[in-house]
Structure 1
Amino acid sequence: MAAIRTSGVSSLHEARLALGKRLRELRRQADLSGRELAESLSWPPSKVSKLENGRQSPTDEDIRVWARATASEREADSLLASLHTLAVQNVEWQRQLRGGLRSHQTEIAALDASTRLFRAFECTFVPGLLQTAEYARARFAQSVTVLKVRGDVTDAVRARVQRQEILYRPDKRFHFVLTESALRYRLCPPEVMLGQLDRLISLSGLPNVKFGIIGFETAYAVAPTHGFWLLDDERVMVETFSAELNLAGPQEIELYRTIFDSMATAASYGRQAREIIKRVVDDLSVEPLPEGKTE
C-alpha cells in the first residue's frame, strides 16, 4: 500500500452525508416530517436536520431510536455498522506518519501478517508490495514533500522491501490489477521505471500471484475512479492525500468486491499482460538518457 494516493474518494464528511441521506430516506418512508420525528423522540428539530445533512454524527442510541420511530428496526444493524466505520475510517496521515514513514510500514506489515487474500486495484501507481527500492524511494520522497513528515526515506524503503517477502509465502494469495496508465505516469525517472517494469514481469510468474493489466484499448464497465485494497473480505483500504480510509461495513465490502471483480474481468493476464508491459518498455527505451548518462 502506497504512502500517498491521488484520488477523489469520499472524505469523512461525505461518508457522514451518506449515512444522513439513509436516515432521511427511512424518515420519509415512514411518512414523517423532520419536526414530527423530532417531537416523537423529544429532540430539538435542529438535531434531525443536523444528522440528515451530515453536520453531526449520531450516537448508537440515536440510530436505535431512529430505527424504532420509523418502523425500520431491520435496518438498525446496517446503520450501526456504517456509524462504527465512520469512527475508524479516517485516520489523518499527519498523525499516522508522526513516527516516520518506516513506522507506518511496520504497522502495515502487521496487517499483512493476518491477511490471507490480498486484492488490489491501482490506476495511478505500482502497489507497494511490487515496488522496486528505487521506485519506492521516489514515492516516499513525494510523501515527505507533500505531507511535511519526517524524512526517514531510506529506512522506509528498507521496511517496504522487507514486507515484500510475504509474496513468497505459500499460505498467502495475491491478485493485482493495474491500469496501463499506472505504468506510464511519470512518477519517477525513466530508468527507474524500466527497472520497475522488469520486476513486474518477474513477479507475475509467482505461483500465488495473479497479475492483470487493463490496457488503454479496453472498455470499462466501471470507471477506474481510484485505487483500493480489499483484504480478505474484512476490510477495504483507500488512501487519499490527507487520510487513510478503512471501510468495514458489509455493504461497502460487497460493493468493492463487485468493483474489483469487474476490473479483474477487464484485465489481461499472462502473455497478454507481459505484452502490454513490453510495449511500455519499448516506448520508454527510445527516450534519450539523462544528461551525463551513457548506455
Structure 2
Amino acid sequence: MTLDPRELGQSNSDLAAILQELRRRAGLSGVQLARRVNMSQSKISKIETGRVTPSLVDVELILRALDAPPDLIAHVTALARIANTEWQDARALRRKGLEKKQVELAALERTTSEFRFFLPTMITALLATPEYIRASLAPFPGDHSKAIAKKLERQAVLYEPGKRFNFILTEQACRWPLVPAQAMAMQIDRLASVSRLPNVRLGIIPLAGHKPWAPLNVFTVYDEALATVEVSTGALVFRDLRDIREYLDEFRTCEGYSLWGEDARVKLAEWADHYRGTPQDL
C-alpha cells in the first residue's frame, strides 16, 4: 500500500466514522459489538469517536464481526494502516525549532525499556561527541545551541538502570568524515567506550564479506511498541505491531552481519588509528 503523507492525520477520523456507520448498519449497539469482539464497550466508543486509534488486528476483528464485504474490508484496512502511521515533516520540525524535537525524543526515551537503533549512514546523537553533533546540524540555518545542549542532555539516558540499548552501525556510519580527522578519531573512540557499558550492545557491520541483503533506511524500535524510520525529508512513525515486527526482523538480520564486543572494539580501534594518522586538514 502507498502511504500518502497528505492523508496522515485525516485517516483516524475517517476510520472512526466508517466503523461507527458499519456498526449502525449492522443493527448492533456498542455493547453488542464489544461482546462479539471481546473488547470493552468503552474501547469501542473511543475507537468510534477517534479518541483511540485501533490496531489493524482490532479493525479486522470488528470488520469480521460486522460481516463487512471484501472490498470494504480492503478500504477500511488501508485506512487503519495509515491511521497507525505518522509523518513528521523535517522542514516543519526545523521551523518549530530543533530543540523541541529533542524534548519529544527525551520523553519517548524515558518511557522505553529496550531500544534498537540501526544506523547505516551516520552516528546517532546518543553516541555522538559535541563536535560531531554540531557538524550534523551545520547544514541548517539558525542558532543550534539549544538543540545541541538538548542532544547532549539526552545521553544521560544511557546510564539509567533498567534500560537496554542495542546499536548497529555500518562501517560507513562509523567512518563517514563528518568532522576533521582528529575529531573523527575521538568520535570512534567514544563508540568503543560506550560499548563497554553493561546495558549497551554495540555492533558494527564491516564492508568486507558477502552480505546477500542490503539495508535501506535508518530506523529505531522502541520496545515493541513503536518504530521510527528516517528519510531525508522527515520520519515515519509506525505503531502497528505488524510493521514493528518487520523492523524487528530486519534488526535480527543485521545482528547476524555484525561484529560485537571485543571484535567490534578491535575494528573501531583500527578505524580510529587511521584517522589519528591522517593530517588534520583532511
TM-score normalised per structure 1:
0.70
Asked if 1:69 corresponds to 2:69, the answer is: yes
Structure 1 pair 228/11, CA: closer, same or farther in 2 (3 Å)? farther
List aligned pairs for 1:1-295, cutoff 5 A.
12-13=3-4, 68-70=68-70, 79-86=78-85, 89-142=86-139, 144=140, 148=141, 151-290=142-281
Structure 1 pair 76/224, CA: closer, same or farther in 2 (3 Å)? same
CA distance in 2 between counterparts of 1:11 and 1:76 reads 13
Q: Determine helix, strand or coil for the equivalent of 2:278.
A: coil
1:1-53 per-residue CA deviation (whole Å, 9 max, x = no partner) reads xxxxxxxxx9843998xxxxxxxxxxxxxxxxxxxxxxxxxxxxxxxxxxxxx
1:87-141 per-residue CA deviation (whole Å, 9 max, x = no partner) reads xx21212222323121211111111111111000001111111111110010111
| Equivalent residues of 1:238, 1:246 under 8 A apart | yes
Q: Determine helix, strand or coil for the equivalent of 1:97.
A: helix
Amino acid corresponding to residue 184 of structure 1 in structure 2 = R
Structure 1 residue 183 displacement after superposition: 1.4
Amino acid corresponding to residue 290 of structure 1 in structure 2 = D
CA distance in 2 between counterparts of 1:15 and 1:121 reads 27
Structure 1 residue 152 displacement after superposition: 2.8
Q: Determine helix, strand or coil for the equivalent of 1:205.
A: coil
Structure 1 residue 69 displacement after superposition: 2.5
- The structure with higher relative contact order (CA 8 Å, sep 6+) is 1
Match of 1:3 in 2: none
Amino acid corresponding to residue 127 of structure 1 in structure 2 = T
CA distance in 2 between counterparts of 1:14 and 1:64 reads 25
Q: CA RMSD in A?
A: 2.9
CA distance in 2 between counterparts of 1:164 and 1:196 reads 14
Structure 1 residue 236 displacement after superposition: 0.9
CA distance in 2 between counterparts of 1:15 and 1:267 reads 37
Matched-pair identity in %: 32
Structure 1 residue 288 displacement after superposition: 1.4
Aligned residue pairs total 228
Match of 2:20 in 1: none
CA distance in 1 between counterparts of 2:149 and 2:2 reads 31
1:128-163 per-residue CA deviation (whole Å, 9 max, x = no partner) reads 111111100101112x1xxx5xx2322211111110
| Equivalent residues of 2:217, 2:230 under 8 A apart | no
CA distance in 1 between counterparts of 2:231 and 2:120 reads 13
1:43-69 per-residue CA deviation (whole Å, 9 max, x = no partner) reads xxxxxxxxxxxxxxxxx9xx969x823
Match of 2:26 in 1: none
Amino acid corresponding to residue 175 of structure 1 in structure 2 = N
Match of 2:22 in 1: none
CA distance in 2 between counterparts of 1:79 and 1:64 reads 13
Structure 1 pair 112/206, CA: closer, same or farther in 2 (3 Å)? same
Structure 1 residue 72 displacement after superposition: 8.1
| Equivalent residues of 1:180, 1:213 under 8 A apart | yes
Q: Determine helix, strand or coil for the equivalent of 1:111.
A: helix
Amino acid corresponding to residue 120 of structure 1 in structure 2 = F
CA distance in 2 between counterparts of 1:266 and 1:221 reads 10
| Equivalent residues of 1:102, 1:152 under 8 A apart | no
CA distance in 1 between counterparts of 2:84 and 2:104 reads 19
Q: Determine helix, strand or coil for the equivalent of 1:254.
A: helix
TM-score normalised per structure 2:
0.73
Match of 1:36 in 2: none
Task: Structure 2: state its 5+ residue gaps.
Answer: 8-58
